[in-house]
Amino acid sequence: MSDKAKKQPVQKPEPKTAAEMLAMRKSRNYWVLGLIVGLVVLFYLITILRMAGAS
């Protein structure tokens, strides 16, 4: 296998200032919030569908 075929780990850019670090953290927090909200909605819909099918 050649060196190009091996997957290299993704390098995240290092923040140069505190403001950049806070912006990166805020962005990551919004992604996590979106995932949590998406899972809550998914579980809610699954619950509603299972209750509707039980009758």
Residue 11 corresponds to which tokens in the numbers above? 């390098």
User: What confidence tens digit (pLDDT) does each residue in 18-27 have?
Assistant: 899 999 999 9
DSSP result, 7-43: PPPPPPPPPSSHHHHHHHHHHHHHHHHHHHHHHHHHH
Q: What pTM does this model have?
A: 0.64
Q: Is the pLDDT of residue 2 over 80?
A: no
